[in-house]
Amino acid sequence: MSILRVEGVVREVGDFVILDHVDAAIAAGDRVGLVGPNGAGKTTLLRLIAGLDEPDQGQIHRKRHLHLAMLSQEAHVDTAFISAPTLRRAVRAGASHLEEIEETLRRLEHEGRVTEPEYERLQHEFDVRDGYSLDQRVEAALSGLGFERDQWDRPPTNLSGGEQTRAALARLLLSDPELLLLDEPTNHLDLGALEWLEDHLSRRHGSLLVASHDRAFLAATVNRVWELRDRKLTPFRGNYSAFLRQREARDVLAAREAEDRAAEIAREQELIQQYRSQRKHGKMHEHEARLEALQPLEKRRSDARLHLPTEALVGGTAARSYESVVRAEGLVVGYGKAAFAARPSVAAAPGITSGADAAPNAAASVAAGPAADVPVARIPWLELRRGDRVGIVGPNGAGKTTLLRTIAGELPPLDGALDLGRNVQLSYLAQLREMPIPGATVLDAILDELPLTPGAARSHLARFLFRGDDVLKEVTALSGGERSRLELALLFLLPANLLLLDEPTNHLDIPAREALESFLTTTTSTLLIVSHDRRLLETVCDSLWVVDDGLAAPFEGGYRAWRQAIADGWTVEGAVEREAARLHGGRSSQPDRRKTATPGAGSTSMSRPKSSRPGTMSTAVAGSASAATPAAPPRPPAQKLSKDLYRRRKAQIDEEVARLSDRKEQLEAALQDPAVHGNFVELRRVSGELAGVNEALAAAEEAWLVLEEAAP
């Protein structure tokens, strides 16, 4: 039985049609996923169903007394929520009907009327609605959605925008509506909160309509899918996996029909020309009528796909870095005195995507005072090697973004050593979406970064779906998805062999996420990615860095393997202890047992120029700063390696030396070619590559000597 029906709904904004005669129905117990590209009208449809807006044509029929509730992408919390004395009370108010019954029962008990039928009826309803476990459910929702226990008794006004959205979600779940409408509910959730929400939604009995770009979330929670594309809604039977199969089959069929129609049109045009030349006007008019009836099938506008370039717009392919790309030992990341003084207040900016991760750090900074450094996480040992694809995971506020910003050079290390390998060219995509992008328009943003011709800039932007007048849109008026695509376009202006990406799929729709994943799985660049997108982590990353409880440790394996390891008792602290035992023969590598360096004054061996546009993208060549660093101290005696580790490293180095030697021979032979000598550009390219290969070969031979010192 349907609890809601949408019949012939049309929604227009001016002359633009958003929804065109949409029909759909939701039955009791349905869990429907609403998918489609950005701008397809998903939020518009949800608002129409919720009764917040009215359709221009058509009708929406709701079951009588249907209890529905909606969570918007950026929840606008009401006065009652903000004025609640504590977060616990604000969330508990979601079950206002149960609170009213509870208060009435308490009053009847006080008046001694417990034998009356009214008391018995209310007590039965309270029991059926699970009112006796209300406080336990409030605590479970707060804990599951990532609120620490010490936050429960704080007023909601102390929360950041992202935290207020999570609290609004907790309150909505406590209300337990018959139809729950969710618009991108995973935006501010970390991995633990995502899994809790999935489990809660899969167990609830009411109906659900959720708009989301999170494919793993959809796969875990919905049993039907609606797709909005080109103003039309198409319902699919089965779960998200079944939808993917059906959509692919449908798109293949549509493409075949379009090809057949184009062939028919070409044939009719050919016959018309033939009969015109033969002056057979009767036949000619007959085929002209057929041609008029054969209208070409309109190509779907949303079929346009993001096309990430295989090389940068300027400079081509990045140079090959050395084997060790990033190495951290005894590193402490956080906010120093100067960094904190200049740091914007995140907690005061509701709705900022990064607020969930940054607000705890801001609170700690206030507590510590502006004159103190604020450490966020300690990294005993981490190494990123060439070609690695590593995901950085952990709860909100653990320091994932802080670690990535430190590696990118935006924050100085507070202590320890952080080394970037030679020939490393990095590009950094920040998560802080409030940072300004220079330029009044999208085209200006590209031209302000590099001196390009407008044609070259437009061609580059077209890869990121900015075509025609789209390049003249004002940057300040871009949607979240459009801004994310512009930031990706800026990321690929200059070559990079190390990509630092902080939540790269934020605000991207599913086709754009799939295009980004396809690029990341095929690129030769080294990847370091902070993400809560589990499909991205599982598809792209072959290992993880886990940040939690003020520590960071590596995990050899993908996302699923890590979650299974956690279920089996794996912890960051335990991994750190095991790594210390392996690297130091059982001796701890705690930074407080080492000589503490002065923050910001030689405490790191990494030195880089500042980005021309901090907070969005920075590109630097780490090797260019090596001349400015002081001479390295004598190398301490190498620790003996295990036989297995020694064999693996020796095999890697031998393979590298052999590869570089072969390439050196090829380049030296190319230098003897007269065609190369006669082409200045080619001669410079070959000579430059040969110089790089010679440097890499020398470094590989040095690494071989160091390895021999550590032989078991």
Residue 527 pLDDT level (bands cut at 50, 70, 90): very high
Give yes or no: residues 407 and 551 share one domain.
yes
Check pLDDT > 70 for residue 240.
yes
Place of tokens 């449809």: 45
pLDDT at 74: 62
Contact between 119 and 113 under an 8 Å Cβ cutoff? The reply is yes
Cα(366)–Cα(679) distance, integer angstroms:
61
Token pair recorded at residue 26: 């939701």
Give yes or no: residues 451 and 563 share one domain.
yes
pLDDT at 314: 78
DSSP 587-611: ----GGGSPPPPTTSS--S---PPP
pLDDT at 310: 77
Where a domain ends, among 152, 174, 196? 174
The model's pTM: 0.71
Cα 338 from chain centre? 29
Domain limits for position 122 = 76-174
Cα(455)–Cα(461) distance, integer angstroms:
10
Residue 676 CB neighbour total at 10 angstroms: 17
Cα(290)–Cα(278) distance, integer angstroms:
19
- Tell whether 120 is covered by a domain: yes
- Tell whether 309 is covered by a domain: no
Contact between 161 and 74 under an 8 Å Cβ cutoff? The reply is yes
Give yes or no: residues 695 and 599 share one domain.
no
Check pLDDT > 80 for residue 694.
yes
Residue 289 CB neighbour total at 10 angstroms: 11
Helices (H), 541-679: 559-567, 572-584, 643-671, 674-677
- Tell whether 34 is covered by a domain: yes
Strand order in the sheet with 619-621: 415-420, 324-335, 374-385, 551-555, 543-548, 389-393, 526-530, 498-502, 425-429, 619-621
Contact between 514 and 485 under an 8 Å Cβ cutoff? The reply is no
- Tell whether 632 is covered by a domain: no
Q: Region 615-639: what's the mean pLDDT? A: 44
Give yes or no: residues 392 and 443 share one domain.
yes
Check pLDDT > 50 for residue 557.
yes
- Tell whether 344 is covered by a domain: no
Q: Region 255-273: what's the mean pLDDT? A: 85
pLDDT at 361: 44
Token pair recorded at residue 495: 């070559």
Helix axes 117-128 and 96-110, enclosed angle (nearest 10): 150
- Tell whether 358 is covered by a domain: no
Across 31-40, 201-210, 566-575, 624-633, least confident range: 624-633
- Tell whether 424 is covered by a domain: yes
Where a domain ends, among 122, 143, 174? 174
Where a domain ends, among 222, 238, 254? 238
Query: Shortest CA distance to 92 belongs to which of 80, 104, 109?
Result: 80
Query: Shortest CA distance to 305 belongs to which of 441, 522, 462?
Result: 462
Check pLDDT > 80 for residue 122.
yes
Give yes or no: residues 475 and 609 share one domain.
yes
Residue 412: partners with Cβ closer than 8 Å, 6 or more residues away: 336, 339, 406, 599, 600, 603, 604
Q: Collapsing DSSP states into helix, strand and coil, what is residue 26?
A: strand
Across 160-169, 427-436, 475-484, 664-673, least confident range: 427-436
Cα(525)–Cα(670) distance, integer angstroms:
26
Query: Shortest CA distance to 397 belongs to which of 159, 200, 595?
Result: 159
Contact between 683 and 676 under an 8 Å Cβ cutoff? The reply is yes
Give yes or no: residues 143 and 35 share one domain.
no
Give yes or no: residues 153 and 287 share one domain.
no
Across 100-114, 421-435, 496-510, least confident range: 421-435
Check pLDDT > 90 for residue 599.
no
- Tell whether 360 is covered by a domain: no
Number of structural domains, the chain? 5
Check pLDDT > 80 for residue 125.
yes
Give yes or no: residues 425 and 573 share one domain.
yes
Give yes or no: residues 464 and 539 share one domain.
yes
pLDDT at 384: 92
pLDDT at 586: 47
Q: What is the DSSP letter of 457?
A: H
Residue 501 pLDDT level (bands cut at 50, 70, 90): very high
Give me the chain's average pLDDT, please. Answer: 80
Terminal CA-CA length for the chain: 73
Token pair recorded at residue 669: 């032979």
Across 227-241, 463-477, 512-526, least confident range: 463-477
Give yes or no: residues 58 and 111 share one domain.
no
Cα 267 from chain centre? 48
Count of helices and strands (H, E) across the chain: 24, 19
Q: What is the DSSP letter of 148?
A: -
Token pair recorded at residue 231: 């103003």
Which residues pair with residue 256 across a beta bridge? none
CATH assignment at residue 526: 3.40.50.300
Give yes or no: residues 108 and 139 share one domain.
yes
Over residues 432-476, the pLDDT tens digits come to 655 567 678 888 888 888 888 888 888 888 888 888 888 888 888
Percent of the chain with pLDDT over 90: 25
Check pLDDT > 80 for residue 584.
no
Over residues 14-55, the pLDDT tens digits come to 778 889 999 999 999 999 999 988 888 899 999 999 999 999
Check pLDDT > 50 for residue 87.
yes
Residue 544 CB neighbour total at 10 angstroms: 22
Cα 492 from chain centre? 17
Residue 443 CB neighbour total at 10 angstroms: 20
Which residues pair with residue 327 across a beta bridge? 383, 419
pLDDT at 616: 44
Give yes or no: residues 40 and 130 share one domain.
no
